[in-house]
Amino acid sequence: MLTEALLGRARNWRPNLLFVTSFALLILSFTVHAQTNNSEADGKSSFTARLMNIEAAANETFRYNASLHNGAKEARIYELKADLPIGWMIAYKVEGSQVTSLNLESGKTQDISIEINATSSAKPDKYKIPIRAISAVDTLVLNLEAVVKGSYALELTTPSGRLSDEITSGKVKEIQLTVKNTGTLPLTDVELSAQNPSRWETTFEPSKIKEIEPGKSVDVTASLKVPDKTIAGDYVTTITAKNSNSTSQLSFRMTVKTSLLSGWIGVLVILAAIGLVYYLIRKYGRR
């Protein structure tokens, strides 16, 4: 009898045990969900960057990777503004698109790429650049630093400044060039190249300059070869000096003239034609 009574009570407790277990799981799920929401929207918004200080040349782009977090319990629209030195430029990009403001849901974090360009005349120094994310409720400040270490600048010209000359068809002309470092940082591995008219050839000596110190220049000889039977006229060759930091170009105009022998041949052909006409007139004109 006692055994049957215990079995009966156990059967009666099964539904109650199932209810208690389900209720406990429900409470646990709610607690975890509440903790998750609290961790996302913790009331602490932030504006941070992986690297706060970047060093580059004045004509290079300063690139920062920032993160904006909305810790509020409601969505907020943040407008992005910066205090820049005069003439400097800034761009904010989110997922490749340029923006000036963004809408952040509660507890969300958005990565922002910040690109800053200094003026070419910016002096070597450390520049502080405050970036502000402004909403209707709060303002988040990100203090960045751009360290300008100098500038890269390259100038390609001729010693006399003259950018034109004459050449005879089928001949080679040497052109004297000057490659000058007009920046404040050394230039390394400067290469020279040319874009020629069809079948023309240009070689350089030297064709590659290992290094040019600021304010210094290197003389280069360009040998321009014109193919035979080139029609007389004006032709332009574009010469380029460049490295990974700077580029300079010049357009050199060459006036092609025919050779003296070709000129005499032309004269003889004309005289022969006149003589032939005169002969035909004398022979057949009397009939």
* DSSP secondary structure, 166-190, as one string: EEETT-EEEEEEEEEE-SSS-EEEE
105 and 143, same domain (yes or no): yes
Going by pLDDT thresholds of 50, 70 and 90, the confidence category of residue 7 is very low
The C-alpha atoms of residue 17 and residue 25 are separated, in whole angstroms, by 12
Nearest Cα residue to 116 out of 130, 105, 102, 137: 130
Q: What is the predicted pLDDT for the residue at 20?
A: 46
pLDDT mean across residues, the chain: 85
199 and 133, same domain (yes or no): no
The C-alpha atoms of residue 191 and residue 180 are separated, in whole angstroms, by 13
Assigned domain for 285 exists:
no
235 and 163, same domain (yes or no): yes
Assigned domain for 37 exists:
no
190 and 172, same domain (yes or no): yes
Select the more confidently predicted residue: 125 or 265.
125
The C-alpha atoms of residue 248 and residue 98 are separated, in whole angstroms, by 30
Assigned domain for 77 exists:
yes
Assigned domain for 102 exists:
yes
Going by pLDDT thresholds of 50, 70 and 90, the confidence category of residue 286 is low
Nearest Cα residue to 82 out of 120, 118, 45, 43: 118
CATH number at residue 233: 2.60.40.10
Instruction: Provide CB contacts within 8 A for 184, sequence distance 6+.
Output: 124, 150, 151, 214
pTM of the complete model: 0.66
208 and 249, same domain (yes or no): yes
177 and 141, same domain (yes or no): no
Q: Does the pLDDT of residue 283 top 80, yes or no?
A: no
Tokens of 229: 């039977």
What's the number of domains the chain is made of? 2
Predicted confidence (pLDDT) per residue in 111-149, tens digit: 999 999 999 889 999 999 999 999 999 999 999 999 999
75 and 119, same domain (yes or no): yes
67 and 142, same domain (yes or no): yes
Assigned domain for 276 exists:
no
144 and 158, same domain (yes or no): no
Predicted confidence (pLDDT) per residue in 143-180, tens digit: 999 999 999 999 999 999 999 999 999 999 999 999 99
Predicted confidence (pLDDT) per residue in 36-90, tens digit: 344 455 679 999 999 999 999 999 999 999 999 999 999 999 999 999 999 999 9
Q: What is the predicted pLDDT for the residue at 31?
A: 45
94 and 176, same domain (yes or no): no
Select the more confidently predicted residue: 275 or 59.
59
111 and 162, same domain (yes or no): no
Select the more confidently predicted residue: 16 or 203.
203
Query: Residue 200: which domain range?
Result: 154-258
76 and 159, same domain (yes or no): no
Q: Does the pLDDT of residue 97 top 50, yes or no?
A: yes
Determine the distance from the C-alpha atom of residue 181 to the mean position of all C-alpha atoms in its chain, rounded to a whole number: 21
Assigned domain for 274 exists:
no
Assigned domain for 284 exists:
no
Predicted confidence (pLDDT) per residue in 229-240, tens digit: 889 999 999 999
